[in-house]
Amino acid sequence: MPHSLVEPAGSRLIASLTTNPTHQEWLEQALQLALHNRQQGGRPFAALLVRDNQLVTSAVNGMHQDGDPTRHAELEALRQASQVGPLAGAIVYASGHPCPMCLSALVMNGIAAVYYAFDNEDAAPFGFDSTAAYQKLGLPLAPPPLPLIKLPSPLAAAELYGAPDHA
């Protein structure tokens, strides 16, 4: 049974950033941000860019703000992080498996690894699947162009991607 991510966003964010977060903990921050973005009317995606286990930037999908379809969380994180330092060697924690647009940008900028929670199979029932784009582009993911590591999520896919409550 899923737990803990229903508590208010923010409290755990601050708490775990004061310690030495694990990959799993960083990823859970991204999941919380993604859920929060969904609750704010955005798409349920977020990404953190981390260097030397220090947070460089966190970002959410910004498409709902101005309709710009390139405002995926990973690209937003790269844009923000590029203003404060080098990108190569950083690690990205993304709530969902990167789409080909984002994955290309991550590879081209030397990101060392991507950790994510939900893959395309998890997202497909909710319409957040980029498999078709990968196929059109002829981009196989085996072998992956950089380490793409799926970690468990304390949140079920339906909790993040499913129809929001109409309370």
CB of 161 to Zn ion, least distance (A): 15
CA distance 58 to 163: 24
Residue 69 or residue 152: which is nearer to Zn ion going by CB?
A: 69
Please report how close the Cβ of residue 137 comes to Zn ion at its closest, in angstroms.
Answer: 13
CB of 3 to Zn ion, least distance (A): 28
If the CB atoms of residues 28 and 129 are measured against Zn ion, the closer one turns out to be 129
Interface of this chain with Zn ion, residues 101 to 160, rule: CB under 5 A: 101-102
CB 27 to Zn ion: min, Å: 17
Residues 75 and 82: beta-carbon distance below 8 Å:
no
Within residues 9-68, the interface with Zn ion by CB under 5 A covers none
- For the chain, give the secondary structure using H, E and C: CCCCCCCCCCHHHHHHHCCCCCHHHHHHHHHHHHHHHHHCCCCCCEEEEEECCEEEEEEECCHHHHCCCCCCHHHHHHHHHHCCCCCCCCEEEEEECCCHHHHHHHHHCCCCEEEEEECHHHHHHHCCCCHHHHHHHCCCCCCCCCCEEECCCCCCHHHHHCCCCCC
Taking the least distance from each CB to Zn ion, the nearer of 17 and 107 is 107
Closer of 21 and 61 to Zn ion (Cβ): 61
Residue among 27, 49, 94, 99 that touches Zn ion (CB under 5 A) = 99
Question: Considering only 33-41, 51-59, 60-68, 71-79, which stretch makes contact with Zn ion by CB under 5 A?
Answer: 71-79
Task: Tell me the closest approach of the beta carbon of residue 1 to Zn ion, in angstroms.
Answer: 30
Those residues whose C-beta lies under 8 Å from the C-beta of residue 136, and which sit 6 or more positions away, are: none
Figure out which of the listed residues 38, 51, 72, 97 binds Zn ion, where binding follows CB under 5 A.
Answer: 72
Where do contacts with Zn ion occur on this chain (CB under 5 A)? 72, 99, 101-102
